[in-house]
């Protein structure tokens, strides 16, 4: 039996084995790190945009549609299935509507999500659209998008004025004004009553624009010594296609007012606006005479409000015609202030004058445009701090000239980002990377924007997250390096020992 012969490993073989073992250990760690980076960059990239509220400022009881465009970025690595879209309060306690199974959004694609709701009470409703999507890996991801809806009592309004006339006849003037932001359509106005006979009791009109007023006149008669009531009923269609109804009732007595509607009537309304901003003061002139008014001159005056123009003129006003005149004005503070309106006109060759004094309400909008920073993240990167955030307009008016910058600080350098304009209930994301000195725990950020012609500013402190120093990646797979070196050393020692032997 031949004795076994052990051949020692050459020095080259020992060295080659050590290199291969070390490379094997290092190679397995590199593969894991590469796989981790690939996972972080994958997945759908979902965003919400073009959020619309219709009508933009609904009245209580109006059917309101809130719609949004859900998009998947073209650079996204996979599609996403839209499972649910919910309209809910921001504390998630109340749900207003939900739609399901909108389909799959492929990279570069989008889908529209319309929801409808009805709000019974006026006020500012701070809501959110909650979107839940499912990825190819069956992972559920939720996105929240803030939405603000202003439910206002400033919808169409109607009043009934009754004046005495000849004998038992009464002139009934029904004033309809549209305070909504959208026009109303298909107006159908009827007047009936108790113990009163109405002549030609229906009026039709195709459209009443936002901010305008129209007066419809009727004639009614009561019996001698009798009292009665006149009820005006207005049916109209709002921006959502709903048919709604208004009713108002007025008393027709034996002495239902001695001042007949025998001259021009004046009405005044003021648009909402922030203090120190210019807003329109609208004066409506209705010609209640049987003939034309000529050389019409209208002027306004106030001890508090400042008007940029105080006079308006027009050549004539036909019988039964109504015209609106706009006077830009501003006040230092919101409130109710006196405004005097004077109308000069010529009637049948005679120069006449009508003066009315109004207590005008210069109110601020219930939910003006305002910018809030959301989704804020600040992470140090060497000698800089990378700040990413979203400038969200949580108001119901457009915000312009948004500027985000670092405020004055001894440890943080100055950097500025111009966001631009953001529509109501919309947003825009940004990133700034200012230099920093030493360790910083917070960064002062100044936000500046313009709403209704007035620039607003505020400063907020953003907490900073220190970036962790990357540890040596854990070894996964292959052989541990330290034992390998020990084995190599032992093999080398054995080789040297056997050669000496």
The mean pLDDT value for 390-402 works out to 88
Q: What is residue 311's predicted lDDT score, i.e. its pLDDT?
A: 93
Q: Measured between alpha carbons, how far is 237 from 212 in angstroms, rounded to an integer?
A: 16
Question: Is the pLDDT confidence value at 192 over 80?
Answer: yes
* Fold of the CATH domain 263-365: Immunoglobulin-like (2.60.40)
* Most confident by average pLDDT, 135-144, 164-173, 284-293, 441-450: 441-450
**CATH class belonging to 371-463:** mainly beta
What is the average per-residue pLDDT within 397-417? 90
pLDDT in tens, 259-271: 334 468 788 888 8
- Which residues are CB-contacts of 419 (< 8 A; sequence separation ≥ 6)? 391, 402, 403, 404, 428, 430
Does the structure show a pLDDT above 60 at 36? no
What is the distance between the alpha carbons of residues 260 and 341, in angstroms, rounded to a whole number?
A: 20
Residue 459 has pLDDT above 90, yes or no: yes
Burial bucket for residue 369 (CB in 10 Å: 0-12, 13-18, 19+)? buried
Torsion angle of C-alpha atoms 94, 99, 104, 110, degrees rounded to 10: -80
pLDDT score at 18 = 40
How do residues 117-172 score in pLDDT, each as one tens digit? 888 787 788 888 888 888 888 888 888 888 888 887 656 778 787 765 555 777 78
Confidence band, pLDDT 50/70/90 cuts, at residue 7: very low
CA-nearest of 55, 147, 144 to 394 is 147
Confidence of residue 431 (pLDDT cuts 50, 70, 90): very high
pLDDT tens sequence across 91-129:
767 888 888 888 899 999 999 988 888 887 877 888 888
- At residue 412, does pLDDT exceed 80? yes
Q: Which of 222-236, 281-295, 343-357 has the lowest mean pLDDT?
A: 222-236
Share of the chain above pLDDT 90, in %: 18
Q: Output the average pLDDT for the chain.
A: 78
Q: Phi/psi of residue 499, each to 5°?
A: -65, -40
> What is the predicted pLDDT for the residue at 250?
73
What is residue 176's predicted lDDT score, i.e. its pLDDT? 86
Neighbours of 13 (CB within 10 A): 12
Of the candidate ranges 95-99, 464-468, 480-484, the one whose mean pLDDT is the lowest:
480-484
pTM: 0.41
CATH number given to 46-151: 2.60.40.150
Confidence (pLDDT) at 11: 40
Give the highest mean pLDDT range of 16-25, 204-213, 287-296, 330-339.
330-339
Q: Kindly tell me if the per-residue pLDDT of 376 is higher than 50.
A: yes
User: What confidence tens digit (pLDDT) does each residue in 46-55 have?
Assistant: 888 888 888 7
Position 397 confidence tier, pLDDT thresholds 50, 70, 90 = confident
Residue 500 has what pLDDT?
A: 52
**pLDDT value at 62 more than 80:** no
Measured between alpha carbons, how far is 197 from 219 in angstroms, rounded to an integer? 8
- For the ranges 21-30, 247-256, 460-469, the maximum mean pLDDT occurs at 460-469
How many CA atoms, within 13 angstroms, populate the side-chain half-sphere of residue 307? 19
Split at pLDDT 50, 70, 90, the class of 200 is confident
Cα-Cα-Cα-Cα torsion 133, 137, 138, 140, nearest 10 degrees, comes to -40
């Amino acid at each position: 039996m031949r004795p076994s012969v052990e051949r020692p490993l050459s020095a080259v073989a020992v060295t080659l084995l050590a290199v291969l073992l070390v490379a094997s250990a290092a190679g397995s760690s590199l593969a894991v790190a590469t796989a981790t980076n690939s996972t972080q960059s994958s997945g759908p990239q979902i965003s919400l945009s073009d959020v619309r509220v219709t009508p933009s400022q609904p009245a209580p009881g109006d059917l309101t549609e809130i719609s949004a465009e859900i998009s998947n970025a073209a650079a996204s690595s996979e599609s996403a299935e839209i499972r649910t879209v919910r309209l809910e309060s921001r504390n998630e306690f109340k749900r207003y509507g939900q739609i399901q199974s909108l389909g799959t959004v492929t990279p570069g694609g989008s889908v529209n999500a319309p929801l409808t709701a009805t709000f019974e009470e006026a006020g500012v409703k701070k809501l959110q659209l909650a979107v839940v999507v499912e990825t190819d890996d069956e992972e559920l991801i939720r996105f929240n998008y803030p939405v603000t809806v202003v439910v206002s009592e400033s919808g169409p309004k109607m009043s009934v004025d009754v004046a005495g006339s000849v004998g038992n006849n009464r002139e009934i003037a029904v004033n309809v004004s549209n305070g909504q932001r959208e026009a109303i359509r298909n107006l159908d106005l009827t007047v009936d009553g108790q113990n009163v006979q109405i002549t030609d009791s229906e009026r039709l009109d195709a459209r009443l624009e936002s901010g305008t007023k129209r007066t419809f006149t009727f004639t009614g008669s009561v019996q001698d010594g009798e009292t009665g009531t006149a009820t005006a009923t207005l049916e109209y269609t709002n921006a959502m296609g709903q048919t709604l109804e208004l009713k108002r009732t007025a008393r027709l007595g034996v002495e239902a007012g001695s001042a007949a509607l025998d001259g021009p009537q004046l009405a005044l309304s003021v648009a909402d606006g922030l203090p120190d901003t210019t807003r329109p003061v609208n004066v409506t002139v209705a010609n209640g005479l049987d003939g034309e008014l000529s050389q019409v001159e209208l002027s306004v005056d106030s001890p508090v409000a400042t008007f940029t123009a105080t006079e308006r003129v027009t050549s004539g006003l036909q019988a039964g015609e109504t015209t609106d005149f706009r006077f830009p004005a501003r006040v230092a503070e919101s409130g109710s202030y006196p405004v005097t309106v004077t109308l000069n006109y010529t009637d049948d060759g005679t120069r006449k004058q009508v003066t009315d004094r109004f207590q005008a309400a210069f109110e601020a909008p219930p939910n003006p445009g305002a910018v809030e920073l959301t989704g804020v993240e600040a992470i140090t990167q060497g000698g800089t701090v990378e700040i990413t955030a979203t400038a969200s307009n949580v108001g119901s008016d457009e915000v312009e000239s948004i500027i985000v910058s670092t405020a004055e600080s001894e440890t943080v350098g100055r950097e500025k980002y111009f966001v631009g304009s953001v529509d109501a209930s919309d947003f825009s994301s940004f990133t700034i990377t200012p230099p920093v000195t030493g360790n910083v725990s917070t960064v002062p950020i100044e936000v500046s924007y313009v709403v209704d012609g007035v620039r607003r500013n505020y400063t907020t402190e953003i907490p900073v997250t220190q970036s962790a120093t990357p540890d040596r990646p854990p070894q996964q797979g292959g052989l541990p390096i330290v034992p390998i070196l020990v084995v190599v050393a032992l093999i080398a020692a054995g080789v040297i020992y056997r050669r000496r032997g």
